[in-house]
Chains A and B, each alone.
Chain A
Amino acid sequence: AQTVTQSQPEMSVQEAETVTLSCTYDTSESDYYLFWYKQPPSRQMILVIRQEAYKQQNATENRFSVNFQKAAKSFSLKISDSQLGDAAMYFCAYRRSNNDMRFGAGTRLTVKP
């Protein structure tokens, strides 16, 4: 079974600083997709970034980047120049093609002004 583990229930970062959120997953598949979703207090699920397992290059979206280590089954999210609006729950998710999304338990990120 595919499981996703986020070992940090809570993290905090000073505004303008950098923070890294950890995620590991368990799978026997070689072809899959990884995602980070942000869930602000409104509880809307917002896609932050995605990574295809077959791509060696780490995905980047503006201030958000990932460190994808396929052999270690690790998929961490780095947020640079943190902003107050980044405060939210962050969920790591895994899926195989045409299958459901499996989510981690989430990390609550607090941004201190």
Chain B
Amino acid sequence: EPEVTQTPSHQVTQMGQEVILRCVPISNHLYFYWYRQILGQKVEFLVSFYNNEISEKSEIFDDQFSVERPDGSNFTLKIRSTKLEDSAMYFCASEEGGTNYEQYFGPGTRLTVT
């Protein structure tokens, strides 16, 4: 069964460094999402992406964040200058579109900022 994959599974970085989290959505899916889950808290929406542009973003998704789909396969989330409070689990999700409305989540990347 097709699945969303994410790399790396765990990323440790120092405060102020840039990180790129990578996702490979399911191949025929058209909508892509990033979510964040701080340890012990609920999953929060960051951004949605469709037709090579951001379609919606939350207040969390400030100028330090950016997304890209550079090659039609990968979907990346970049954090330019990480802060301690960026430590969280980051989930990528993709959706086929149409009338399904189901989002398929990747296994997540645990980001630890020290």
A binding-site residues for B, Cβ under 8 Å: 33, 35, 37, 42-47, 50, 52, 91, 93, 95, 97-106
Contact = CB atoms under 8 A, between A and B. Distances in A.
22 contacts: A35-B102, A42-B107, A43-B107, A43-B108, A43-B110, A45-B43, A45-B93, A47-B102, A47-B105, A50-B101, A52-B101, A91-B42, A91-B43, A95-B103, A98-B50, A99-B56, A100-B33, A101-B35, A101-B43, A101-B45, A101-B93, A103-B42
Interface in B4-38: 31, 33, 35, 37
B105 A105 contact: no
Contact of B108 (A44, A47, A99): A44
B44 A103 contact: yes
Majority secondary structure, B binding face? strand
A102 B55 CA distance: 16
Given A43-B107, A47-B102, 10 more contacts: A42-B107, A47-B104, A91-B42, A91-B43, A98-B31, A98-B50, A99-B48, A99-B56, A103-B42, A105-B41
B24 to A, nearest CB: 16
B75 interface: no
Contacts of A46: 105
A43 B89 contact: yes
A50 B102 CA distance: 8
A45 B105 contact: yes
B101 A100 contact: no
B91 A45 contact: yes
B42 A104 contact: yes
Which 4 A-B pairs give the minimum distances between C-beta atoms? A45-B105, A100-B45, A103-B43, A105-B42
